[in-house]
Amino acid sequence: MRLDLEHLTKRFDAAAPVLNDITFSTETRSLAVIGSSGCGKSTFLRILGGLILPSSGDIRLEGTPIPQTEAELLQFRRRLGFVFQQGNLFRHMTVLENITLPLVEVHGWEQEAAKARGLELLERFGLADHAGKLPAELSGGQQQRAAIARAVAPKP
């Protein structure tokens, strides 16, 4: 993956910038973002994922700028898999339903194909026996694996 940042800045309201004039370029297979609490890691990842826009500067992934319009951002986000720190599973839905819902509602999969993909991933992540459980019935690690399965389900 090629990642290029040029003069990336993010401000919320009139406050001091969360990210201030960051220029960085790398060709990598994986990248870790490490820093102290409150230093802007999550803000940076939200910008990189197209969830929020930078105040100024440019970001390019594989040489292509991150889109700026909501319609283009929607298409961009559909190609990504997100796993937030807390997993963000729907508490009232089973693990399998948490995986299949986005496939059907966001990506247009047929229900049976989505269920087959969900079961395949649950097996892969060691959660096949937990398909019918609610997130509260899982350990923290199991919830995280379920969230990862949901993120990779559409093959981003």
Extract long-range pairs of 140-149: CB within 8 Å, 24+ residues apart.
143/87, 143/89, 144/83, 144/87, 146/87, 146/89, 146/95, 146/98, 146/99, 146/122, 147/83, 147/84, 147/87, 147/88, 147/89, 148/83, 149/99, 149/118, 149/121, 149/122, 149/124, 149/125
What is the model's pLDDT at position 14?
Answer: 79
Whether 32 maps to a domain, the answer reads yes
The CATH code of the domain that includes 40 is: 3.40.50.300
What is the model's pLDDT at position 118?
Answer: 97
Whether 143 maps to a domain, the answer reads yes
**In the chain, which residues have pLDDT < 70?**
81-87, 156
The count of structural domains within the chain is: 2
Query: Which of the listed residues 67, 86, 116 is the one where a domain comes to its end?
Result: 67
What is the model's pLDDT at position 98?
Answer: 95
Whether 77 maps to a domain, the answer reads no
Range(s) of the domain holding residue 59: 2-67
Do 63 and 110 lie in one domain? The reply is no
Do 49 and 102 lie in one domain? The reply is no
Q: Indicate yes or no: pTM above 0.75.
A: no
Whether 75 maps to a domain, the answer reads no
User: For the segment 122-151, what is each residue's pLDDT rounded down to a tens digit?
Assistant: 999 999 999 999 999 998 889 989 999 998
Whether 126 maps to a domain, the answer reads yes
